[in-house]
């Protein structure tokens, strides 16, 4: 199998070197970038499997770079920042990050986060899971399992983050079943993360659903596709055909 490559975008040389060494010991290839320009060049030159992106960078900040990357590619992103407030994490997730870790951090914890994000966003499907199924068709949409992309009825592709893809795939597999916020968090966040209060975790789950609704052009106030079940969770209300 190809060695997975991690791109570290941080202008702090000491931190980049420390994280790079830890990841190399864990078996990953590592590419370093100190700003947005170097980040874009690295993405163009290498097959990047995950980006560790610092929030505070010279020139363009991490949030802007995360938003730009997410609009063009489906590379998983872990936000790395000195800020530890829950609201900063929510903002990071809102612009498309798959996870968030605050400085100072234990390098082994970051490595564990990297493994977790790659596992839930990039791991191949198990042979027993949809052995011959290539796509799911629902309403006027198609979720392409082979290419991990969402396609409109007229053939236009809609980019999904790794977390959005995993969540939509799970909801399609459990169409017309109520999914709790806890199930959503298991798919889109680190289940062992205890940094945020319960209400903030619920906010993250709601945020993931909101982002997915936007991709599906599903108006939250009059939602007919992803419906809110008060006090329980969410349900994808649609007939789904697997092909």
Q: Given this model, what pLDDT does residue 51 score?
A: 94
CATH 1.10.10.10 fits 135-242, yes or no: yes
Q: What is the pLDDT of residues 153-163, one digit of tens each?
A: 888 899 888 88
Indicate the pLDDT class of residue 81, thresholds 50, 70 and 90: confident
Establish whether domains 5-122 and 135-242 are of one fold. Answer: no
Q: What is the pLDDT of residues 179-189, one digit of tens each?
A: 888 878 776 65
Domain ranges of the chain: 5-122, 135-242
Residue with tokens 């914890």: 109
pTM of the full predicted structure?
A: 0.57
Q: What is the pLDDT of residues 200-235, one digit of tens each?
A: 567 778 888 988 999 998 876 666 789 888 888 888
Residue with tokens 């030159």: 45
User: What average pLDDT does the segment 141-148 reach?
Assistant: 87
Q: Given this model, what pLDDT does residue 85 score?
A: 55
Q: Given this model, what pLDDT does residue 230 score?
A: 82
Q: What is the pLDDT of residues 94-144, one digit of tens each?
A: 667 788 787 778 878 888 888 888 887 764 444 333 345 788 999 889 999
CATH 1.10.3720.10 fits 5-122, yes or no: no
Q: Given this model, what pLDDT does residue 104 score?
A: 77
φ, ψ (nearest 5 deg) of residue 217: 55, 40
Burial class for 48, CB neighbours closer than 10 Å (0-12, 13-18, 19+): buried
Q: What is the DSSP letter of 133?
A: -
Q: Given this model, what pLDDT does residue 108 score?
A: 81
Q: Is the pLDDT of residue 190 over 60?
A: no
Q: Is the pLDDT of residue 14 over 70?
A: yes
Q: Given this model, what pLDDT does residue 195 score?
A: 47
Q: Given this model, what pLDDT does residue 129 score?
A: 39
Q: Given this model, what pLDDT does residue 191 score?
A: 46
Q: Given this model, what pLDDT does residue 127 score?
A: 37
Q: Given this model, what pLDDT does residue 89 score?
A: 59
Q: What is the pLDDT of residues 16-74, one digit of tens each?
A: 898 899 899 889 999 999 999 999 999 988 989 999 998 888 888 888 888 888 877 77
User: What average pLDDT does the segment 80-90 reach?
Assistant: 61
- Residues 42, 163: Cα–Cα separation, whole Å: 23
- The residues, any chain, with a CB within 8 Å of residue 24's CB and separated by 6 or more, are 30
Q: What is the DSSP letter of 188?
A: H
Q: Given this model, what pLDDT does residue 63 score?
A: 83
188 within 8 A of 213, measured Cβ to Cβ:
no
Q: Given this model, what pLDDT does residue 110 score?
A: 85
């Amino acid at each position: 199998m190809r060695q997975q490559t991690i791109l570290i975008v941080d202008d702090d040389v000491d931190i980049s070197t420390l994280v790079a060494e830890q990841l190399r010991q864990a078996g990953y290839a590592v590419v370093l970038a100190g700003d947005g320009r170097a980040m874009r060049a690295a993405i163009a030159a290498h097959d990047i499997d995950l980006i560790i992106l610092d929030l505070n960078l010279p020139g363009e900040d991490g949030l802007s770079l995360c938003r730009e990357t997410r609009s063009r590619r489906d590379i998983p992103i872990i936000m790395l920042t000195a800020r530890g407030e829950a609201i900063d994490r929510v903002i990071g997730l809102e612009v498309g990050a798959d996870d968030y870790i605050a400085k100072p951090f234990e390098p082994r914890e970051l490595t564990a986060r990297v493994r977790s994000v790659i596992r839930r966003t990039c791991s191949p499907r198990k042979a027993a899971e949809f052995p011959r199924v290539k796509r799911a068709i629902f309403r006027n949409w198609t979720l392409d399992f082979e290419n991990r992309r969402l396609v409109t009825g007229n053939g236009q592709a809609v980019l999904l983050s790794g977390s959005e893809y995993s969540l939509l795939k799970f909801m399609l597999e459990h169409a017309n079943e109520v999914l709790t916020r806890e199930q959503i968090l298991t798919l889109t966040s680190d289940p062992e993360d205890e940094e945020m209060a319960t209400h903030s975790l619920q906010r993250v789950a709601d945020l993931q659903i909101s982002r997915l609704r936007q991709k599906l052009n599903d108006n939250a106030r009059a939602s007919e596709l992803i419906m809110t079940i008060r006090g329980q969770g969410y349900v994808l209300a649609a007939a789904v055909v697997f092909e």
